[in-house]
Amino acid sequence: MNYVVWSFACFYLLEVPFLDCALAEVKSPSLGVDIISLDGKWQLMNSNSSVSLSAEVPGCVHTALQRQGFILDPYYRFNDLAYRWISLDNWIYTTSFSVPSHVRGKGKAVLVFEGVDTVSTISLNGVTIGKTDNMFRRYDFEVTGLLKDEENVLQVWIMSAVIYASQKSHAHTEYRVPPDCPPPVQKGECHVNFIRKAQSSFSWDWGPSFPTLGIWKGVRLEVFNTSRVLSYTTNPKYDFEHSSWNVEVELFFDVFVASKGLVHLSIPLLQSKAEFQLSLTPGQSKKSFVLQLNQSVSLWWPFGHGEQFLYYLTIDVNLEGGETFNADRLVAFRTVELVQEPIPTSPGLSFYFRINGKPIFLKGSNWIPVHAFQDQVTTDMITILLRSAQKANMNALRVWGGGVYEQDIFYSLCDMYGIMIWQDFMFACALYPTEKDFIQTVREEVTQQVRRLKSHPSVVIWSGNNENEAAIATDWFNISVAARPLYVKDYVNLYVENIRDIVLQEDSTRPFLVSSPTNGVESEKEGWVAEDPYDPHYGDTHFYSYYKDCWDWTAFPRTRFASEYGFQSWPSLSTLSKVSVTSDWDFSSNFSAHRQHHEDGNQQMLKQAELHYILPNSTDPVQRYRDTIYITQVMQAQCVKIQTEFYRRSRSDIVKGKGHTMGTLYWQLNDIWQGPSWSSVEFGGKWKMLHYWATDFYAPILSAGFEDKGDLLIYAVSDSHSEKHTVKAKVKLHSWSSFNAVCSLESNVTTIKAGGSTLVFQHSISALLTQCGNCTRRSCIVAFHLSSPEGQMISPHNHIFLSSPRYAEGLQKPNITFTVKDTGIVQNFFVTLHCSFPAVYVWLDVDNIPGHFDVNGFLMLSKKSTVIFGAWRPTTAEEITANLHITSLRDVY
Ligand code: BMA
């Protein structure tokens, strides 16, 4: 099938969510290998046999217990605490299977566990065949000679991860490896840094403690006479000397009997093919082949910068004995550089990504695990989240180091959507032990993950850990000055001498950073732990400030690259109502406190909101709760917008030596459960107000307005590489009490920088108000956008408040009414709003009907406005009408 047809088919399917689009990976690995899948129903028992049930593999204990009715939904109310016993117990998975004698008679048999969570001892027919201690690794155990025809009994004895971590930490007597336990507000378990498991599974500041146990990936038996392919990689490389592309293919073999054969590689669409001799000797071996391309290729570009061309590459291995192995894989051509070089007029170094030779501003967010129970993560949900990211004009996501290396489909979809991935290794917010066995298991983990992921063009950078350089540098764990060198030595040992070393050996096609945040090459100069890894003159930064007024953009560090920043909000009532009861629906309920895992989080949200808005005061408690959720989302959207626009407009500026910001990844895209967090998409896929706003503040051409020393300034920010737009800023002042603009202004026509930010409008605010006549800071709002000289709109509508809406004069209850009408296009509905006064932060919520609006949380400056709701399942105008809630700021007090 050629790419164009395939791409269209997939795109079409993905436009209708809930349909999977299979991306071809390995066809059927063969070379005469017989594969018996052991996935499916197993038996599961706890340590004293008091609980016994059947369980699905892949899966985990919690999911099995819930599916069989032993427990209720673990996410319901306080069940995370009620079900703590599950993770403190040990569990045994058992299955039995038969092996036909013609298979059993073959030379070598291997049991492959793609993923065990986490610490286990595995036996076959009563004989221990191996142990596991790392959920991020695949394990292969040889079982030749142990198989019977009938009734082979396979048992996986899984130890409590909590108890294992505690034992490991107590055995580490020479010095402590902090932190011991998470803060009490997280209600989590201790010593997660001692186990190679999703670090957030012991609790995080946005997630519950569910230290899962299970067989979370597939299990199979592979039996063969000659050899088998363990894995393979496909790596397009650009040959700068000859200005041409080639593709390096690596095949990893497990060879039982020496053999010879041929390897054919081909990319039909590029009319490129080649044949190579293959000679295999017993043992494990890597064979590399290079396919030279003799014609030019179409490049893969990040979303918003060009197409994402993907080509089928086929691999055929033919051994002399007649055994064959065939696979095909999509490959793409792009180069990536992380540029850290001096900037005139600024101390420090730049920090930006150059893709295919062009500087690219990374716009996106941070990705956390989609579910506490990884077996419940569906392709549909990953698709919804990634499509949501792309719809919000994101071109990048950071797979954060406290979760999991995502599943293959995640990266394949990112390849297709043009979403660049900043891939952390799974270490976060902690120091780590460096005992031999720990380092050994990490080395294997890193090797396997790099080999699994490096063929994806979407992955543009590896990063060693989340915040661990900062943890040492800024002393999170009260380490004495005398002890510090010891911890720095361990840090360098783990991330530099081991992880970095392996990555550099395995992958020469993309950059490696040791940590995030880091000063990059400057950190390296300072011995890998910089004095201040948050230095805005170097590398990336993480920045959080909850109590300071987020409208004050001067408080944000003008960083080279903002890889984390954000504000919390609560998810919608329809999301929360699935795990709560009416008595929980109060901001001061036990439930509200229980779900909040960030110290003072609920307080911080209200305090920040109160700076600019009157807090909800309905006498109906449920209405007040709904409105409070709304106000937290308004606050979050407004704060992240102001901060992101500040970073985007800083891309060309150097102010007091700081600037040239080239990336914004706000914290965080998605949620792991129904609770308050920094996310812009709720658990289940519903968009918060922030996500709707991201669509605008990440628009390819943005008009960003702000106030500086009494002046109103508007910048035009463009992601374009060459197109120099001529624009004018159109500015209108609107009074809160009438629909007619009080006055309108236009800037001169300006040519804006391609790939830069340009000041297009500057005006003293007091002069503007005087000139305008009937306007004060409190009675009017400024709306603006960019248009072409001919009047065509080229940036989304934007606005800026001249004073806090809490002091707005003339803002009245808008009395919004609505009608819903089918558009005639599948699952798309017009929602037409009518209001009697201008309204701000107009929010439409259809409760449990999945889907999203084209715009939401908007400023309504006309009597009538129509938006479109696209549902993700069949629905009707009547159902939408019955479920639609409309709220604007003036409605909540
Ligand atoms: C950063 C992240 C996460 C955390 C977030 C919000 O430090 O790396 O660890 O969830 O801030 O506190």
pLDDT tens-digit series, residues 654-686:
999 999 999 999 999 999 999 999 999 999 999
In terms of CATH architecture, what is 32-220?
Sandwich (2.60)
**301 alpha carbon, distance to own chain's centre:** 19
Write out pLDDT tens, residues 557-615.
Answer: 999 999 999 999 999 999 999 999 999 999 999 999 999 999 999 999 999 999 999 99
Q: What residues contact residue 669 under an 8 Å CB cut-off, 6+ apart?
A: 364, 365, 366, 367, 368, 385, 388, 389, 397, 679, 680, 681
| Phi/psi of residue 312, nearest 5 degrees | -75, 130
Compute the distance from residue 637 Cα to the ligand 1 centre, in Å. Answer: 18
In this structure, the residue with its CA closest to atom 10 of ligand 1 is 205
Please report which confidence band the pLDDT of residue 29 belongs to, taking 50, 70 and 90 as the band edges: low
Q: How far is the CA of 491 from the centre of ligand 1 (A)?
A: 20
| Residue 467 appears among annotated catalytic residues | yes
Nearest CA to ligand 1 atom 9: 429
Q: How far apart are CA 796 and CA 496, in angstroms?
A: 44
Ligand 1: centre distance to CA 365 (Å): 12
Closest atom of ligand 1 relative to the 204 alpha carbon: 10
Q: What is the location of CATH 2.60.40.10 in the chain?
A: 227-360, 702-807, 816-887
Contact 355, 304 (CB under 8 A): no
Confidence band of 24 (pLDDT split at 50, 70, 90): very low
For 57, 72, 412, 744, the CA distances from 49, given in Å and listed in that order, are 20, 20, 42, 77
The segment(s) of the chain belonging to CATH 2.60.120.260 are 32-220
The answer on pLDDT for 778 being more than 80 is yes
Closest atom of ligand 1 to CA, residue 205: 10
CA–centroid distance, residue 164 to ligand 1 (Å): 25
For the CA of 678, the nearest atom of ligand 1: 6
- Determine the distance separating the centroid of ligand 1 and the alpha carbon of 629, expressed in angstroms: 22
Q: Which amino acid residue places its CA nearest to atom 8 of ligand 1?
A: 466
Residue nearest to atom 6 of ligand 1 (CA): 205
Topology at the third CATH level for domain 816-887: Immunoglobulin-like (2.60.40)
Which residues does a 6 A CB cutoff place in the pocket of ligand 1?
A: 204-206, 402, 428-429, 466-467, 542, 564, 667, 678
pLDDT tier for residue 26 given thresholds of 50, 70 and 90: very low
What is the pLDDT averaged over residues 14-43?
62
Residue from 189, 323, 467, 682 carrying the catalytic annotation: 467
If we measure between CA atoms, which residue out of 476, 357, 355 comes closest to residue 422? 355
Angstrom distance (rounded) from CA 443 to CA 453: 16
Q: Which of 546, 564, 680 to mutate to test the pocket of ligand 1 (most atoms within 8 A of CB)?
A: 564
Spacing, Cα 425 to ligand 1 middle (Å)? 15
Alpha carbon of 592 to ligand 1 centroid (Å): 20
Which residue puts its alpha carbon closest to atom 4 of ligand 1? Answer: 205
Contact 301, 293 (CB under 8 A): no
pLDDT exceeds 70 at position 542 = yes
| Catalytic residue of the set 406, 469, 506, 564 | 564
Ligand 1 centroid–CA 692 distance in Å is 22
Active site residue 564: yes
Q: Give the model confidence (pLDDT) of 62-106 as tens digits.
A: 999 999 999 999 999 999 999 999 999 999 999 999 999 989 999
Q: Which atom of ligand 1 is nearest to the CA of 402?
A: 9
Give the three-state DSSP class for 864: strand
What's the CATH number for 227-360? 2.60.40.10
- Dmax (CA) for the chain in angstroms is 94
The pLDDT score that the predictor gives to residue 294 is 85
Quote the CA–CA distance of 663 and 394 in Å, as a whole number: 11
Residues of the chain with CATH 3.20.20.80: 366-699
Cα separation values, 129 from 45, 106, 143, 699, Å? 20, 19, 7, 55
466 pLDDT exceeds 50? yes
Residue to mutate (ligand 1; options 185, 192, 199, 205; most atoms within 8 A of CB): 205
Which of 467, 543, 640, 669 is the best mutation target for the ligand 1 pocket, counting ligand atoms within 8 Å of the beta carbon and taking the most? 467
pLDDT tens column, 131-144 = 999 999 999 999 99
Using the atom order of ligand 1, give the atom closest to the CA of residue 206. Answer: 10
Of the chain, the end-to-end C-alpha distance in Å amounts to: 60
- Tell me the pLDDT of the chain averaged across its residues: 95
- Return the residue matching tokens 């009532």: 573
* 258-288 confidence digits (pLDDT tens): 999 999 999 999 999 999 999 999 999 999 9
Interval 342-399: pLDDT, tens: 999 999 999 999 999 999 999 999 999 999 999 999 999 999 999 999 999 999 999 9
CATH 3.40.50.1820 fits 366-699, yes or no: no
d(CA 679, CA 454): 28
Taking residue 476's Cβ as centre, other Cβ atoms within 10 Å add up to 16
The alpha carbons of the chain give a radius of gyration, in whole angstroms, of 29
pLDDT at residue 150 in the model: 86
pLDDT score, position 28? 38
Q: Which CATH architecture has domain 702-807?
A: Sandwich (2.60)
Substitution candidate for ligand 1 out of 200, 429, 598 with most atoms within 8 A of CB: 429
Provide the pLDDT for residue 723. Answer: 79
Q: Is the pLDDT score of 121 beyond 80? A: yes
Q: Which helix (H) or strand (E) holds 852?
A: strand 851-853
Atom of ligand 1 nearest to the CA of 598: 12
- Enumerate the β-bridge partners of residue 82: none
Distance CA 167, CA 864 (A): 65
Mean pLDDT within 831-839: 98
Distance 399 CA to ligand 1 centre (A): 13
DSSP string, 64-91: HHHHTTSS--TTSTTHHHHTHHHHHS-E
User: What percentage of the chain reaches a pLDDT higher than 70?
Assistant: 97
